[in-house]
Amino acid sequence: MKITDQLVEKHGLKKDEFENIKKLLGREPNLLELGIFSAMWNEHCSYKSSRLHLKKLPIAGEQVIQGPGENAGVIDIGDDDAIVFKIESHNHPSYIEPYQGAATGVGGILRDVFTMGARPIALLNSIHFGAPDHPKTKSLLNGVVSGIGGYGNCIGIPTVGGETKFNETYNENILVNAMAVGHAKKNKIFYSKAKGLNKSVVYVGSKTGRDGIHGASMASAEFDEESEEKKPTVQVGDPFTEKLLMEACLELMKDNSIISIQDMGAAGLTSSSVEMASKGSLGIELDLEKVPCREENMTPYEMMLSESQERMLIILEDGKENSAKKIFDKWDLDFVIIGKTTNTNKLILKFNNKIEGEIPIEALASKAPVYDRKWIKKKPSKIKVDLKNLKKIKIEDALIKILSSPNHSNKSWVTNQYDQMVMCDTAQKSGSDAAIIRIHNKDKAIAVSVDSSANYCKSSPLTGGKQIVCENWRNLIAVGAKPLAITNCLNFGNPENKEIMGEFAECINGIKEACEFLNYPVVSGNVSFYNGTNNKNIYPTPVIGGVGLIQKLTKPINHYFKKENSSIIVIGKTIGHIEQSCFLKENYSINEGLPPEINLLNEKNNGESLLKLIEKNLVLSSHDISNGGLITALCEMTFSSNFGAKIYKPKKLTNMFKYFFGEDQGRYIIEIEAENLPKVEKILKDDKIYYENIGFTQKEKFEIEGELNILTKDLFKINNEWYNKY
Amino acid sequence: MRSSVIVFPGSNCDRDIAVALEKMQFKNQMVWHKETKLPKSDLIVIPGGFSYGDYLRSGAIAGKSLIINEVKNAANSGCLILGICNGFQILTETGLLRGTLLRNKNLKFINKDVYVKVTNNNSKFTNKYKKDQILNLNIAHNEGNYFTDQKHLDELKNNNLIAFRYCDEKGSINDFYNPNGSLENIAGIFNSKKNILGMMPHPERMVDEIISNKDGVNLFSSLLN
């Protein structure tokens, strides 16, 4: 087949990229080779627009066993335990087919984790939808939530946390980011780097079908005529097979059969084989007629580019083929030797003994394009919002408006669709600042949280980048965990637009600054560009997934008030930053001005001091203050418990709205047994931490002296209405 | 006491129940679905999960598996059988328990802690509970909406074969506290000889205070009694 300009374009390759391919090959590629280049050189696999910026992120630390570049990051949590984790996006497929898109997003990220030898122990997600009144939102929400649940529930990994947000910026492009966390033995981590010549390359798992070929971007006329049947471009998930594949892989990993292992994710067989060979500086040769196929007459092109789910590629030690096959037979899964490692440094694809494609590995990996795209800094907004100019409202009404809004409503409609308890190590379900998962058969536990702040990032990408790392850090601290490392999913618009690229570059700078300061390295992640439709780009939405360690879990800390007459203390200073607050957004639809600044030194000191208090068992409950400010956080502490609070009239700050709704960073609310107050105050004073004693807990009512007096059960009811009425 | 946990492809609460049984000092063995012989057991547990992906219909394929014949034989000779969640669905598919589990009323998967009332504490499975004791147990299922014909329902009621019913915090049984639409708020039933119990809530998830509560403990200690 003649490779026309049109065909090149349909493969998403630019003219100069195609010229470069011809130079690297010394000839024109055939269709199969073109398809392989297009799969490896696309943004998703090559990170060509982001690579230069990602290099800036801190990736090392004494807690890091494996940073970015592998299937997932690995950190040390002491003894012989390691935690393996990563977050990934599945935005475009989920918009086209929400159930399968979201489900396969979960499946894909799980494979990244168990490929490395870890048993997955928790799933989290960050999902962003358009405005609730947009005609597609309701069905997308329904589909995505049941897809996430459908996959995780069936495979039997608890979905323990996440966030569900609405904003019209996602009307035409929702975000579905899934994070998986696994536990492994430190000396039993498996990597994708191939080693040794003439080793068997084994295909295991589901059969290959025509689903997912080239995702949504590919639809050539020639191609259509040749294909018997048009399948949707979104892959179809089969969590049952994934469960079998997971158990079989983990069983095989118990002995020393595996040299290297890689899941077939994006770009399926192509990227998995190239990645293994490239990391091992080897060649790889595949006999494609041996690939187990689901459909008849599949061509090499289709096999190499299919994104059928639940498949793995394994390179085995010599002589282990039979014992390995037995395990996969037990689980009724395909196990076929489809090729071998070679010293040619080439990817050689044979079909019925005829060479159909031959590409130097480095042309697909290290020589893939890298772009230093133009970017510009965002001009900071100078707008200050003067509350005096706004229509007067009552504190109570403003609060109710926030609590009943889609973004702040109780999310049990969502989380009740996820099995949060399976595996019986979930010590803290979603709904608190972070989820807590006990390490099986041990006293220790990890805390996990996923966070994003697109509004802050839109108005100031640099501050937003910093803020989101800090908020995530704070969420782990609030449940008594020492934050160790993060994974990030960077959801942005079109990188060829210099303003969007500027948002990306500045967000990365912010993330870098905060991660460095907090010793909170990035160990894995994913970039998703081109989120937008018809030149309308989404808000910059970096999503941070953090993991922290609780050395000895005796009683999980959450944010619910525990008893009457305890003291309520706010750690961190309340200045009253009101721009970019929920208060202005929900009550006045004002989105202007800058987000609250981040003071990294205070952030670190406040967090570390609180961790000290929790470790000394001085804290009954604790909550970070974020969107909605102090008053919203206080209300949340009254939910699901019988205790309310009485808050004194603030002394220093005259504007009540700024005091109660301002979103100053680095703050926490803690509940302290009254008799422990002196001890706590001494520690905070010794640590030079700014704190305020703002009131005490009481039965049933939430009160602010002279301003507000409302039954907590009424607040709870208000908070629970939106989803059930939607 | 010797227990066997049947593991189907797609079972996912097998480890959880094994942990609970061992914690309660059962001598437990895992039995793979392709086995044709059961080890000597006083108790057989069919755990929760999605056996064979729950494709076709929840529990339908497991109900026809090799090992299930052995389970039926054991049941007929009086061995104690406990089916939890998917295990309950499988037991109804095999005919060891009557009735069926339909899609939840709201057509969604439901995972939450619910209250159930011990309506019969006169059984091998429930004798350590007080009559009408209220338990807080976790449910996690898509198809937990128990249904049976009127004749069988009368039989269940007349012979006191309903083990657990969904209720509110104070024990009142009403529609509002029926999470999945089950007939008469049924959460678990016995067969006529009361050597078989099928239940949707997960007692194995309630044996550890750090994780949840200990309301499931007495089910296991009843069996040891």
Give DSSP secondary structure letters for A430-452. BTBSSEEEEPTTSS-EEEEEEE-
pLDDT digits (tens, 9 = 90+) for A347-373: 999 999 999 999 999 999 999 999 999
pLDDT of residue A532 exceeding 90, the answer is: no
**Which residue in A246, A251, A422, A642 has the most chain B C-beta atoms within 10 A of its own C-beta, making it the best mutation to test that interface?**
A422
Angle between helices A712-725 and A395-403 (to 10 degrees): 40
Please give the Cα distance from B30 to A175 (Å, whole number): 41
CA distance A432 to chain B (A): 15
A11, A44, A408, A577: which is the annotated catalytic residue? A44
Q: Specify which residues A68 forms β-bridges with.
A: A70
Give residue A2's pLDDT: 85
Residue A49 has pLDDT above 70, yes or no: yes
Q: Is B16 on the interface with A (CB under 8 A)?
A: yes
Residue A610 and residue A666 in contact, taking contact as beta carbons nearer than 8 Å: no
Pick from B24, B56, B106, B109 the residue to mutate for testing the A interface (most A CBs within 10 Å): B109
The set of long-range contacts for B151-156, using a CB threshold of 8 Å and a minimum separation of 24, is B152/B98, B152/B99, B153/B183, B153/B184, B155/B192, B156/B186, B156/B189
- Across the interface, of B12, B48, B109, the residue whose CB is closest to A155 is B12
Partner residue facing B16 (CB), from A150, A239, A424:
A424
Q: Which residue, chain included where needed, has tokens 């003649």?
A: A2
User: A155 to chain B, minimum CA–CA distance in Å?
Assistant: 7
Residue B4: Cβ within 10 Å count: 27
The answer to whether the CB atoms of B211 and A149 lie below 8 A apart is: no
Dihedral of the alpha carbons of A526, A527, A530, A536, in degrees to the nearest 10:
110
Residue of B nearest to A552 (CA): B210
Q: Which residue has the tokens 């109570």?
A: A396
Residue A336, both tokens: 């076929």
pLDDT, average across residues A267-286: 94
Q: What is the ipTM of this complex?
A: 0.97
Q: Is the dihedral of CA A476, A477, A482, A485 positive or negative?
A: positive
Contact with chain B for residue A241, Cβ under 8 A: yes
Which chain B residue lies closest to A333 (C-alpha atoms)? B9
pLDDT above 50 (res B14)? yes
The mean pLDDT value of chain A amounts to 94
What letter does residue A104 receive in the DSSP assignment?
A: H
Residue type, A102: A
Please determine, for residue A676, whether its predicted confidence score (pLDDT) is greater than 50: yes
The pTM of the full predicted model, rounded to 2 decimals, is: 0.96
What's the pLDDT at A235? Answer: 80
Residue B194, min C-alpha distance to chain A (Å): 28
Position with higher pLDDT, A230 vs B178:
B178
Residue A310: partners with Cβ closer than 8 Å, 6 or more residues away: A107, A111, A205, A206, A237, A238, A241, A242, A245
* Helix ranges restricted to H, A616-676: 629-638, 656-661
Locate A536 and state its tokens: 């309308």
Q: What is the mean pLDDT of residues A209-223?
A: 54
As a whole number, mean pLDDT of residues B130-159 equals: 98
**Residues A18, A165: Cα–Cα separation, whole Å:** 40
Interface contact A417-B204, CB threshold 8 A: no
Q: How far is Cα A532 from Cα A694, in angstroms, rounded to an integer?
A: 45
Mention every residue, 6+ apart, whose C-beta is less than 8 A from residue A309: A104, A107, A108, A206, A212, A235, A236, A237, A238, A241, A242
Identify the bridge partners of residue A180 per DSSP, sorted by sequence position: A86, A123
Rounded CA-CA distance A401/A635 in Å is: 13
- Using a CB-CB cut-off of 8 Å, the residues of chain B touching A146 are 108-109
Contact B53 A438 (CB under 8 A): no
Q: How far apart are CA A475 and CA A625, in angstroms?
A: 9
Length of chain A: 726
Q: What angle do CA A706, A712, A718 make, to 5 degrees?
A: 105
Q: What residues does each domain of chain B span? A: 2-224
Contacts of A239 in chain B (CB under 8 A): 50, 53
Contact B9 A556 (CB under 8 A): no
Say if the Cβ atoms of B111 and A420 lie within 8 Å.
Answer: yes
Determine the pLDDT at residue A653.
65
Judge: B13–A422 Cβ closer than 8 Å, yes or no. Answer: yes
Question: Is residue A270 scored above 50 in pLDDT?
Answer: yes
Report which DSSP code applies to B80: E
Is the confidence at residue A230, as pLDDT, over 70? no
Task: Please indicate if any CB of chain A lies within 8 Å of the CB of B211.
Answer: yes
Beta bridge partners of A357: A349
CB contact under 8 A, A421 and B108: no
pLDDT of residue A216: 35
Residues of B in contact with A420 (CB under 8 A): 111
Active-site position among B70, B93, B143, B202 = B202
pLDDT band at B83 (very low <50, low <70, confident <90, very high): very high
Residue A362 CB burial class (10 angstroms; 0-12, 13-18, ≥19) = middle
pLDDT at A80 over 90: yes
Q: Which secondary-structure segment (H or E) carries A670?
A: strand A668-672
**Which residues from B are below 8 Å from A412, CB to CB?**
112
State the catalytic residue, choosing from B85, B93, B141, B143: B85
Q: What are the backbone dihedrals phi and psi of residue A669, each rounded to the nearest 5 degrees, phi first?
A: -110, 135
Contact A240 B108 (CB under 8 A): no
In the residue annotation, B13 being an active-site residue is answered as: no
Please say if B202 is a catalytic residue. yes
Measured between CB atoms, does B107 come within 8 Å of chain A? no
Show which of residues 150-169 on chain A sit within 8 Å of chain B, judged by CB atoms. Answer: 150, 153-156
% of chain B beyond a pLDDT of 70: 100
**How many whole angstroms separate alpha carbon A126 and alpha carbon A134?**
20
pLDDT score of A200? 96
Q: E strand or H helix at A722, and its extent? A: helix A712-725
Q: How confident is the model at residue A215 (pLDDT cuts 50, 70, 90)?
A: low
Going by C-alpha positions, the residue among A699, A681, A701 that lies closest to residue A691 is A681
* CA–CA dist A100, B164 (Å, integer): 36
Q: How far apart are CA B193 and CA A161, in angstroms?
A: 43
pLDDT of residue A217: 43
Are B112 and A239 in contact (CB < 8 Å)? no
Strands A200-205 and A708-711, sheet pairing: unpaired
Note the pLDDT tens digit of each residue in A6-26: 999 888 899 999 999 999 999
Q: Find the helix or strand (DSSP H, E) in which A128 lies.
A: strand A119-129
* Percent of chain A with pLDDT strictly greater than 90: 90
Between A332, A419, A427, which is nearest B211 by CB? A427
- Assess whether A577 carries a catalytic annotation: no
Q: Which amino acid is at A719?
A: N
Which residues from chain A sit within 8 angstroms of residue B33, using beta carbons? none
The fold adopted by the segment(s) B2-224 is Rossmann fold (3.40.50)
**Which residue, A49, A66, A153, A84, is CA-closest to A527?**
A49
Does residue A219 surpass a pLDDT of 90? Answer: no
